[in-house]
Amino acid sequence: MKELLDLAQLLEQGQSQKVLTLTQQLVDSGLSPQTILNEGLIAGMAVVGEKMRNGEMYLPEVLQSAGAMKASLAILKPHLAREGTASRGKILIGTVKGDMHDIGKNLVTIMLQGAGFEVIDIGLNVEPQRFVTAITEHTPAVLGLSAMLTTTMLNMKTTIEAIASAGLRSQVKIIIGGAPVSQKFADEIGADGYSRDAVLAVNKVRQLMGHTSY
């Protein structure tokens, strides 16, 4: 359908206002919100993610597209809710104890929000027990842990152990990221996934949540 291809292209170009207008027109035309989402917005963001990985788009352009996606999702959300598919999933995210770095975490947050996830960011220098409390309170499907220092990356392990001790480990998937960590480290500390950048983090979260499409 041409309009859906147009929507994907406008999203890729970060043309927020046009994306909103076209989303509304498509909703008004009676097209399924699920179709608009999958064949318009998610298709557009897939191209954006691909272009960023290939070095064809800079972050400000990607974030402009993510912002347009987020705004467009706000239009679709009540319609998706009626279909029983409004919640894409809740993600809890934070930088571990002892670490003040948060730009990577913030970037992942923006990208996840742009992809339609509800993200609860509990900040930086987060004690393991605060993660435990937040999991109990928010019941996220995925927890994202960030660390930038070789002396704080071990606090990811401590955090995962604290979550396990609280009996919550089976309730939440855990993904880690940050300059000093790797897939090997993720495996060693019992995390469920690792991502080296924000675009791949979105894919990894979707994979952990078993999403093949929306």
Partner 1 sequence: MQKTFKTLAIPDPQQLMFGRTPKPLICGFGLKLGNGQVYPELNFTLPTMALEETNWAAVVAQYEEIGSIIERAAARLKPPGLMAEFELLPPMTEHPSWGAELTSVLLRHLDQLHKDTGIPCALRVTPTDIRDVTKPPELRSGKPLELLLQSFEQCAAAGAHVLSIESVGGKEVHDEALLYGDIEGVIFALGVLASRDMEFLWERIVATCSKYNVVPGGDSACGFANTAMQLAGQGMLPEVLASVVRAASSVRSLVAYECGAYGPSKDCAYEGPVIKAITGAPIAMEGKSASCAHFSPVGNVAAAMCDLWSNESVQNVRLLSGPAPEAYFELLVYDCRLFNQALETKTENVYQNLLVSSDIHLSPQAYVLSPESTIRIASTVVRETGHYAQTLAAAREAASLLREGVQQEELQLNSRETEWLERITRELNALPADEHQMIITMQERYGHLFTANSYGL
Q: Which stretch binds partner 1 (CB under 8 A): 22-30, 74-82, 120-128, 167-175?
A: 120-128
Name which of residues 166 to 205 contact partner 1 (CB under 8 A): 180, 197
In the complex with partner 1, the residue whose CB is nearer, 30 or 60, is 60
- What DSSP designation does 190 have? T
Q: Which residue of 17, 100, 139, 188 would you call a contact of partner 1, by CB under 8 A?
A: 100
Q: For residue 148, state whether it binds partner 1 (rule: CB under 8 A).
A: no
Q: At what angle do helices 198-208 and 43-53 cross, to 10 degrees?
A: 130
Instruction: Give the whole-angstrom CA distance, residue 13 versus residue 68.
Output: 10
In the complex with partner 1, the residue whose CB is nearer, 47 or 59, is 59
Residue 68's CB is within 10 A of a number of other CB atoms, namely: 28
Site string for partner 1, 28-67 (x = CB under 8 A): ------------------------x--x--xxxx-xx---
Applying CB under 8 A, the site for partner 1 has a residue count of 29
Within the chain, residue ranges assigned H as helices are: 2-12, 16-28, 33-35, 43-53, 59-82, 103-114, 128-138, 154-165, 183-189, 198-208
Region class of 30: left (phi > 0), else alpha (psi between -120 and 50), else beta? left
- Give the residues lining the site for partner 1 (CB under 8 A): 52, 55, 58-61, 63-64, 98-100, 102-103, 106-107, 110, 123-125, 149-155, 158, 180, 197
